[in-house]
Amino acid sequence: MFKILLDISGACDNNLNMFKGNSKHIKSEQTREEILDSALELFRQHGFDATTMRDIAVKAGVALGAAYYYFASKDAIVQAYYEKVQQEHTARLRQMKMDGLSLRQRLAAVFYSKLDILENDRKLLGAIFRYSGEPAHPLSCLGPGTRVVREQSMQVIADAVTPEALPADLQQLLTLGLWALQMGVLIYFIYDDSPQQQRTRRLVDGALEITTFLLRLARFPLLGFARKKVLALLDEAGLLPQLNHALEAQS
Amino acid sequence: MFKILLDISGACDNNLNMFKGNSKHIKSEQTREEILDSALELFRQHGFDATTMRDIAVKAGVALGAAYYYFASKDAIVQAYYEKVQQEHTARLRQMKMDGLSLRQRLAAVFYSKLDILENDRKLLGAIFRYSGEPAHPLSCLGPGTRVVREQSMQVIADAVTPEALPADLQQLLTLGLWALQMGVLIYFIYDDSPQQQRTRRLVDGALEITTFLLRLARFPLLGFARKKVLALLDEAGLLPQLNHALEAQS
DNA sequence: GTCTATATAGCGATAGAC
DNA sequence: GTCTATCGCTATATAGAC
């Protein structure tokens, strides 16, 4: 079931040469990690804009040129962070035992673990959403440049939905809807200044309760009609092909 | 009904001194307009990032420092554009005769006129969404810095919903939902490369059809329960006070 | 391949003269 | 209110050490 994810991560990551066992590559990977970690720590402390590449290089103990050798730009560091978070999210859910859990519990696990991972990185998320309105930008969180990461994040949700064995159309609708919900939750999360972002957690609980409630209602004729309408609309809007791709990978 | 809007525009705009009749102020206002128009034209042609303040100053026929005298930053120009668009949207809908129209027709007028205004500015919208993940930034489209513009855009929707004389809770829910829909539509609009963004227009049609259909369903007991749940959740999430404020203004 | 050191161009933004 | 001059920054380039 997870084969596609491994394929994808192998295809997208340009620095898996560390597995070759060559000590030079290991050294190189360490330097890269050092630069990335230094950057993220500075980003968390002072924010993305206030941190300069020179700061990062100094903290990592390398020259400015070295930092640019590993990361073509400050944005590229954000991209690496983006991928790192998604790898972590995928890995955590892969480890979890979901066997006895309900759909709602599985989805709660998906949403909560995402929030856990991002707990201290709320300042960083702004950098990820920064180019969401610029389709051509490689870091646009809805654009082609982040397609792989986006599909991975949809896959995590699809894996939590699949065991429910829903009709295909409803499964598509639910997965896409939940993915959109997750994006909305993350935005709320950034703006949530309650202690430990407890409001966001409650929002997740409530949203999932309503989702599962509406899911039960979706079998009734009237809402079944609405459901077909929504699906036809999303299909016409071209928002489903990517999802189909993710669903095919499960078979 | 529109009193509040006039109050707001008077309070938020810091450059209405042109009405004082002083020739110096008129001259000043002309320079400001010249800089703003030059900037927007360059933004539309080459995008936000590719346009420099030096380009803007040259095109407007002033020195770099003069441009910064009128606009504290490049972002401030975007802010001015943002407010200008909302003023235009509010003004257009104020002129329209909505008397004989259905809710769906009124909402279509709201959504379509917004798209008409932004037709040639899709490259510019990316600059508006740029800081949506940074609450503290004055240009954050969800943050306190843009509260006034945001309330104006909600007011436009509320004005289209009000004649329907819905129960108060449903009206709140519908207005907030439609505002969120509008934001989503704008994102889709940015990514829509179909001719004249016809896909976005069809998306609006379909979304409004489903919205009005669900609205009719909302009176049934089962969906009425879901509706209460959703409203309670949004209230707990703190997403309603601002809306209440807008609704009070109509009385 | 990995990295240092250094230099240049052009950017946003600011200070102070006029 | 407008200008010139300047700052610190990013991005980029280059020459060379290892």
- The predicted-structure confidence for B83-126, as pLDDT tens digits, reads as follows 999 999 999 999 999 999 999 999 999 999 999 999 999 999 99
So what's the pLDDT on residue A13? Answer: 41
Contact state of A130 with B127 under an 8 Å Cβ cutoff: no
Q: C-alpha distances in angstroms, A157 versus A110, A231, A237?
A: 7, 18, 21
Do domains B16-72 and B75-250 share one topology? The answer is no
Nucleotide nearest to A71 (CA to C1'): D11
Q: Does pTM surpass 0.85?
A: yes
Nucleotide nearest to A22 (CA to C1'): C1
End-to-end CA distance of chain B: 7
Cβ atoms within 10 Å of A77's Cβ, excluding its own: 24
| Spatial distance from the CA of B131 to the C1' of C13 (Å) | 19
Q: What DSSP line would sit under A107-138, residue for residue?
A: HHHHHHHHHHHHTT-HHHHHHHHTTTT-TTST
In tens digits, what is the pLDDT along chain A, a chain of 251 residues? 333 333 333 334 444 344 444 555 788 889 999 999 999 999 999 999 999 999 999 999 999 999 999 999 999 999 999 999 999 999 999 999 999 999 999 999 999 999 999 999 999 999 999 999 999 999 999 999 999 999 999 999 999 999 999 999 899 999 999 999 999 999 999 999 999 999 999 999 999 999 999 999 998 898 999 999 999 999 999 998 755 655 566 55
**How many Cα atoms occupy the beta-carbon half-sphere of A137 within 13 Å?**
26
| Spatial distance from the CA of A57 to the C1' of D10 (Å) | 14
pLDDT bin (cut points 50, 70, 90) of residue B219 is confident
Containing B237, the helix (H) or strand (E) segment is: none
Residues of A in contact with B125 (CB under 8 A): 133
Q: Which CATH number fits domain B16-72: 1.10.10.60, 2.30.110.10, 3.40.50.360, 2.60.34.10?
A: 1.10.10.60
Residues of B in contact with A229 (CB under 8 A): 206, 209-210, 213
Contact yes or no for B173/B230 (Cβ under 8 A):
yes
- The predicted-structure confidence for A90-147, as pLDDT tens digits, reads as follows 999 999 999 999 999 999 999 999 999 999 999 999 999 999 999 999 999 999 999 9
Domain ranges of chain A: 16-72, 75-250
- Whether A63 sits with its Cβ under 7 A from any strand C atom: the answer reads yes
User: Which of B167-175's residues contact partners 24+ apart within 8 Å by CB, and which partners?
Assistant: B168/B247, B169/B227, B169/B228, B169/B231, B170/B215, B170/B218, B170/B227, B171/B247, B172/B231, B172/B240, B172/B243, B172/B244, B172/B247, B173/B227, B173/B230, B173/B231, B173/B234, B174/B211, B174/B215, B175/B243, B175/B246, B175/B247
Contact state of A187 with B132 under an 8 Å Cβ cutoff: yes
B118 and A CB contact within 8 Å: no
Nucleotide nearest to B77 (CA to C1'): C12
A207 and B CB contact within 8 Å: yes
So what's the pLDDT on residue B247? Answer: 55
The token pair that represents B209 in the structure block: 């059809």
Residues of B in contact with A199 (CB under 8 A): 236-238
Smallest Cβ distance to A129: which of B133, B190, B202? B133
- Whether B250 sits with its Cβ under 7 A from any strand C atom: the answer reads no
Q: What distance in Å separates the CA atoms of residue B108 and residue A29, rounded to the nearest whole number?
A: 55
Smallest Cβ distance to B133: which of A142, A190, A226? A190
Instruction: Work out the average pLDDT over B69-96.
Output: 97
End-to-end CA distance of chain A: 7
| Spatial distance from the CA of A138 to the C1' of C6 (Å) | 30
Nucleotide nearest to B74 (CA to C1'): C12
**In chain B, which ranges are continuous DSSP H helix?**
3-12, 23-46, 53-60, 64-70, 74-95, 103-118, 122-129, 147-161, 168-191, 198-217, 221-236, 241-248
Residues of A in contact with B126 (CB under 8 A): 131, 133-134, 137
Contact state of B210 with A233 under an 8 Å Cβ cutoff: yes
- Rg over alpha carbons for chain B, rounded to the nearest Å, is 20
So what's the pLDDT on residue A17? Answer: 40
Contact yes or no for A49/B131 (Cβ under 8 A):
no
Q: Which CATH number fits domain A75-250: 3.20.20.370, 3.40.50.2300, 1.10.357.10, 3.60.15.10?
A: 1.10.357.10
Contact yes or no for A2/A94 (Cβ under 8 A):
yes
Instruction: Work out the average pLDDT over B166-178.
Output: 93
Q: Residues 12..71 of A with a Cβ closer than 8 Å to B: which? A: none
How far, rounded to the nearest angstrom, does the alpha carbon of residue B103 sit from its chain's CA centroid?
20
